[in-house]
Structure 1
Amino acid sequence: MAVRGGRVMRWWICCGLLALLAEPVIAGPPYISDDPEPTDYQHFEIYTFNLGTATRNGTTGQSGIDFNYGAAPDLQLTATLPEGFDRPVGGGTDVGWSNVQLAAKYRFLHQDGFGLDVSIFPRIFLPSGSNLVGDNHASLLLPIWVQKDWNGGWSAFGGGGCTLSEFRAVDFCEVGGVVTYQLLPKLQIGAELFHQTAVSSVTPATTSLGVGWRYDLNDNYHLLGYVSRGIENTNETNQVSWYASVLFTF
């Protein structure tokens, strides 16, 4: 029964990955979808980032630092410290401390034994404490992420989950998938399809297509970029989005 159950689980996750859309490659940022690979044990990954989204109502975004530490084999601890901004059309720009994020990624299945890397990555969003920037309510994202690598530099990862808030049972759910390719020894490129359900009656569902890249200056310094555009409710949700980051690994 255990063997049969394992085969059923593997089939289900494979189908989910195909529906979302080598040598192992590092994934996650700059994409919206995450990957199941934790930071290496006793190593750091630190992102200094800027991101934003423009709609017909204005532009919102964040700048900050994303700390990741390999606390144990297959366990990554994460803390994200963002400064947010909100620039409505025809108005001024509000700037303030946005939602601090605390997360833990745990990989419980591996490609060498199961055929896929699979992780859970629960993430807590603390209240921003502001009525101008961010969300002044706490929330919790509960996702699962999977990944498959192939020889030749190809990799695919994706998954999804739902965000729960302190005042509503479910705020929204999201699902996404990414395919990446190691084009040059120092340059990786990728494409992403991402969907998020409606947040409220005034914030409808959104689906977007994006492209990303990563350039390794050396073993410790890396440049990351990403741009996307909505293909569903574009004007209301995503006329253009971006992410830019300098990654330090050590």
Structure 2
Amino acid sequence: MAALIPLPAYAGPPFVTDDPEPTDPGHWEIYNYAGGTLQPGNNATQFGWDINYGPVKDVQLTTTLPLATQTGQPFGLGDAEFAIKVKVLHHDDGVIPLDISVFPRVIVPTAHGSTQTQVLLPVWAEHDWDGWSVFGGGGYTLNPGAGNRDYWQQGVVVTHMVRAGFMLGLEYYGQSRDSLTERAVTGVNLGTQIHLAGPFSLLGAFGQGLNRKQTVFYTSLKLDL
């Protein structure tokens, strides 16, 4: 049986790294996505729905419902995720020129072979100017279970609005060891978001591991309501 591949959690589609901006109050963001990790002899892919809702100003509720498949493993449910993003600082508050949010996330063991609930505790920050954005941060994940390790993850993204409705971005991300047998992971991604028409946008990212032979990819159709 193949060893489990740690799939990146795409907190801020199309990137692994998230930004601090919550969904607007009364609005939905729905990502119909596919993503995965490819490495020699062992591939893992997810398909699913990443759903954000803004109940009030500066708050976002998130649910991720994946289906997953992997070399040597049956196709089935992935681990469901539930999160709440709360914006705690605005760049125009006069404190520091950054938007900052906390975004705690609970990862429920609904996938085949999963038995433990994980909790991610990140902080994300962003600065914008003249069509450019830099955002990033990271956090600590509580990862119980025999042979597992709690771990840190972090990342930074630079994006540019090339023109209205067309964004390009470059990401660096990393994660420390999440088990006794796994190594730390670092990688880079190139991502884009293209507005198609009406409420629809197309997102995509492609990247390579820097310390292992690993390719990651992500694509989604976003619906803004």
- Tell me, yes or no, whether TM beats 0.5: yes
Matched position secondary structure for 2:187: strand
Question: C-alpha deviations, 1:192-222, integer Å up to 9, x for none?
Answer: 0001101123210011011000000134100
Alignment size in residue pairs: 212
TM-score normalised by length of structure 1: 0.81
Match of 1:247 among 212, 222, 225: 222
Match of 1:212 among 182, 186, 191: 191
Distance 1:212 1:138 in 2: 30
Of the structure 1 ranges 160-169 and 75-84, higher mean CA displacement relative to structure 2 is found in 160-169
Distance 1:57 1:198 in 2: 21
Contact between 2:32 and 2:49, CA under 8 Å: does it hold in 1? yes
Find the counterpart in structure 2 of residue 81 from structure 1: 65
Map 1:14-93 to 2 at 5 A: 28-88=12-72
Amino acid at match of 2:161: Q
Amino acid at match of 2:156: G
Find the counterpart in structure 1 of residue 141 from structure 2: 163
Contact between 2:154 and 2:173, CA under 8 Å: does it hold in 1? yes
Find the counterpart in structure 2 of residue 101 from structure 1: 81
Query: What's the offset of the Cα at 1:170?
Result: 5.0
Change in 2 beyond 3 A, CA 1:129/1:48: closer
Matched position secondary structure for 1:202: coil
RMSD: 1.6
Distance 1:136 1:53 in 2: 22
Matched, 1:137 2:122: no
Q: Which has the larger radius of gyration?
A: 1
Contact between 1:44 and 1:68, CA under 8 Å: does it hold in 2? yes
Question: C-alpha deviations, 1:103-156, integer Å up to 9, x for none?
Answer: 00000100111310000000000112522xxx33110000000000002x1000
Matched position secondary structure for 2:25: coil
Q: Larger helix proportion, structure 1 or 2?
A: 1
Amino acid at match of 2:133: S
Matched position secondary structure for 1:217: strand
Find the counterpart in structure 2 of residue 195 from structure 1: 174
Amino acid at match of 1:78: T
Distance 1:57 1:42 in 2: 45
Name stretches of at least 5 consecutive residues in structure 1 with no aligned partner.
1-26
Distance 1:31 1:165 in 2: 22
Contact between 2:85 and 2:104, CA under 8 Å: does it hold in 1? yes
Find the counterpart in structure 1 of residue 104 from structure 2: 122
Matched position secondary structure for 1:143: strand
After the TM superposition, which parts of structure 1 deviate over 2 Å for at least 4 consecutive aligned residues?
A: 165-171
Contact between 2:143 and 2:151, CA under 8 Å: does it hold in 1? no
Matched position secondary structure for 1:195: strand
Q: Larger strand proportion, structure 1 or 2?
A: 2
Matched position secondary structure for 2:92: helix
Find the counterpart in structure 2 of residue 180 from structure 1: 159
Question: C-alpha deviations, 1:35-76, integer Å up to 9, x for none?
Answer: 000000000000000000011241012100011000110000
Name stretches of at least 5 consecutive residues in structure 2 with no aligned partner.
1-10
Of the structure 1 ranges 167-176 and 103-112, higher mean CA displacement relative to structure 2 is found in 167-176
